[in-house]
Amino acid sequence: MDKGKGVMGSNARRWAVDFSDNSTSPSSRDVPDPPGFSRASIDQDDSTLSRQKKDAESNWKSQKAWEVAQAPFKNLLMMGFMMWMAGSTVHLFSIGITFSALWQPISALQSVGKSKIQILELNPLHRDAKSCGKKLLQRRCGEYCYCNVAPAIVVVNCNLKPWLLVIFEPYKDSRVELLGPKLLFIALNLGGLALGVWKLNALGLLPTHTSDWVSSLPPAQEVEYSGGGLNLR
């Protein structure tokens, strides 16, 4: 099933390089420095990014955030069409669609929180963590990564907590206002959820009628007992 572009976009940004960790003393980290790695040689000229470039990035981020926030709308339309196609009788197809309609907004809202990867150390030879590519992602917490070019060593840290709206994490920036996109995203997803619930009700799967409660009630016991009939013959 089509999961929508926004989710796909987030997949590309499963990890994020966090360069903010500037502590120099190795003892403050839980992972020891890999052999052959010297902290003193870290090049500090990353901080020389031009202001203009930063602005462009934040613009781009903001734009992307709105894009992500609007992504569920297409989903909503798609769902609506599918539901109409499924009809109002209870069968495998309609139940499948309804439950996927219910599940998608929920999963989108809570997103996949486990892939918050923090790269603590990076060999200067590998300016870009991306060159380590997939290999980096395959490491588990606290593992070393040997990239093929050189004994590049990356220390990885993970945060496995589920992350609400983690989808917006890549666009997090002090200069980007994320509240709007977030609210829109939440609203659209809740709309999707409501559509799912409505469909569930339309299928008669919600116990909103008296009949749903009564049909399991056994008949009332009778106080009196009477027998008899025609005489035996």
Q: Would you tell me which residues interact with other proteins (CB under 8 A)? A: 85-87, 89, 91, 93, 138, 148, 204, 207-233
Q: Which residues pair with 117 in a beta bridge?
A: 158
Nearest distance, CB of residue 88 and other proteins, angstroms: 9
Measure the CA–CA gap between 108 and 114, rounded to whole angstroms.
Answer: 14
Residue 170 · residue 10 · CB < 8 Å: yes
Residue number, 35 or 229, with CB nearest to other proteins: 229
CA dihedral of residues 176, 182, 185, 191 (deg, nearest 10): -150
Residue 155 · residue 119 · CB < 8 Å: yes
Measure the CA–CA gap between 31 and 225, rounded to whole angstroms.
Answer: 82
Residue 72 · residue 3 · CB < 8 Å: no
Nearest distance, CB of residue 160 and other proteins, angstroms: 20
Q: Which residues pair with 16 in a beta bridge?
A: 118
Enter the tokens of residue 32. Answer: 């020891």
Nearest distance, CB of residue 190 and other proteins, angstroms: 24
Residue number, 44 or 226, with CB nearest to other proteins: 226
First to last CA, the chain: 72
Residue number, 86 or 156, with CB nearest to other proteins: 86
Nearest distance, CB of residue 52 and other proteins, angstroms: 40
Residue number, 59 or 208, with CB nearest to other proteins: 208
Residue number, 28 or 226, with CB nearest to other proteins: 226
Nearest distance, CB of residue 8 and other proteins, angstroms: 23
